[in-house]
Homo-oligomer: A and B are copies of this chain.
């Protein structure tokens, strides 16, 4: 695949990100591209989860990934090696993406023809939650080793997310992780949060997550 581009993102000069995000969302709706903004701590398994989903997406829908990173390019190459269209977005030190930066990525990959497009945001539970990227869906990953107290400590992330994926459940035996406490803290901020438990490594739970994302893509693109 020829798409191994690195896009050096320019900082947005627009003052009203919320308005700009709505413009981008409307445009993507029109173009029938379902954009999912994927957020999490560093190392919770964003790229591995996307790779695991490919098994179910492959041949069923056209999908691609924008890999945002501060300055490395390993993730886009990983996706390309798996046959998934991907572009690398460099934020040049910035800790999040806003709608205008997301748009620069969309422009670099939309020509591929996509039903579903992931933005793998910078690994960070604080700043990305503050910026509407224009996505149809905000998805966040919490990995078991990070601990069950993250929803209490990073509340905004769990308010803005539509979908929570608890990853690395194969490590539940090694770590003290109280699912009930975690879910209670999530529901306090976000009663309607959709929650999936998966292991991107072993594949457990990934089929249900893939089915849900395909259903959401179909609804958005209808």
Contacts and interface: CB of A to CB of B under 8 A. Distances in A.
Chain A at the B interface: SS class: loop
B127 A127 contact: yes
Contact of A74 (B149, B168, B174): B149
Interface in A35-76: 41-44, 69-72, 74
Interface in A123-147: 123-127, 130, 143, 145-147
A31 to B, nearest CB: 31
Given A145-B143, A145-B168, A146-B43, A152 B70 contact: no
A173 to B, nearest CB: 9
Contacts of A171: 145, 171, 174-175
Interface string A22-44: 00000000000000000001111
Interface of A: 41-44, 69-72, 74, 93, 95, 122-127, 130, 143, 145-147, 149-150, 152-156, 168, 170-171, 174-175
Contacts of A70: 126, 153-156
Oligomeric state, in number of copies?
2
Contacts of A150: 42-43
Contacts of A41: 41-43, 123, 146
Contacts of A174: 170-171, 174
Contact of A127 (B42, B71, B95, B123): B95
A163 to B, nearest CB: 19
